[in-house]
């Protein structure tokens, strides 16, 4: 079993992309989907149902199925045919086929994070949600200040259901080369890897966590390691993989 950070990274590089292009297809889908979400201004000008379908769901649910979980998720083609994206174990058995016809997919969902409907409904007031997200993404303001005002219980732009996990999703999709994801798997994986990320100030904690995520990306990049990290989305998949494979502490 891996013990050091480097050993965990190497395990991921060796095992999650060795033959089936699991990471490759997930990263391509993420890149495509994030651009579409940005181009549509995060669907914040739409109603709550559209926003949930496009941003909060992992994948577009077929008929009465709601795709909030990554397990047994599907991709819809322009011809409305369905292709299995991830099975119940989070593997992507049809990766090569998906990569070869990626331009044919009409995607709806984030294809990155599951169960975002939990923790409170951020869509109760779409006007307030739009203001909160626009404030969070304003790069003219300090990230610590922004994050605290959006996530802290008494923050000026805090709305029901907007926790640090959801807030970092908006940051990552808007600026995928700058901001990484902070969620439960990150807390578990970082504790396992020996990274100290405790504290009562949400903004300062995220600033430190984001620095650690960027450090992982840079230290174990594809330029230095075979199958090394390509970007912060790759680091996010790695953290999920470590937490899922070796358990949270």
Q: Where are the domains of the chain?
A: 5-18+120-246, 23-104
Question: pLDDT: is 54 or 249 the higher one?
Answer: 54
Q: What is the phi/psi pair of residue 142, to 5°?
A: -65, 135
Q: What is the mean pLDDT of residues 94-118?
A: 91
Percent of residues in the chain assigned helix, strand, coil, to nearest 5: 50, 5, 45
Of 45, 77, 43, 38, nearest to 57 by C-alpha is 43
State pLDDT tens for residues 49-104: 999 999 999 998 776 677 898 889 999 888 878 899 988 887 888 888 898 888 88
Beta strands 73-76 and 82-86, pairing class? antiparallel
What CA dihedral angle connects 33, 19, 68 and 234, to 10 degrees?
-50
State pLDDT tens for residues 221-240: 999 999 999 999 999 999 98
Q: What percentage of the chain carries pLDDT values higher than 70?
A: 96
């Amino acid at each position: 079993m891996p013990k050091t950070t480097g050993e965990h990274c190497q395990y991921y590089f060796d095992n999650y992309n060795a033959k089936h292009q699991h990471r490759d297809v997930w990263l391509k889908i993420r890149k495509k989907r994030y651009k579409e979400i940005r181009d549509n201004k995060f669907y914040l000008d739409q109603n709550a149902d559209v926003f949930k379908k496009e941003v909060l769901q992992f994948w577009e649910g077929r008929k009465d199925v709601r795709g909030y979980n990554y397990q047994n998720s599907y991709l819809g083609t322009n011809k409305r045919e369905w292709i299995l994206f991830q099975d119940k174990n989070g593997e992507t058995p049809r990766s090569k086929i998906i990569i070869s016809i990626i331009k044919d997919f009409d995607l709806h969902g984030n294809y990155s994070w599951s169960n975002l409907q939990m923790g409170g409904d951020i869509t109760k007031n779409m006007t307030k949600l739009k203001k909160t997200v626009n404030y969070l993404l304003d790069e003219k303001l300090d990230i610590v200040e922004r994050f605290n005002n959006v996530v802290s219980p008494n923050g000026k732009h805090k709305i029901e259901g907007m926790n640090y996990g959801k807030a970092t999703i908006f940051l990552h999709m808007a600026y995928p080369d700058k901001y990484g994801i902070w969620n439960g798997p990150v807390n578990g994986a970082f504790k396992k890897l020996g990274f100290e990320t405790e504290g009562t100030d949400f903004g300062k904690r995220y600033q430190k966590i984001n620095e650690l995520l960027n450090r992982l990306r840079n230290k174990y990049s594809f330029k230095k390691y075979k199958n090394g990290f390509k970007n912060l989305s790759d680091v996010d998949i790695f953290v999920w993989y470590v937490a899922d494979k070796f358990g949270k502490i």
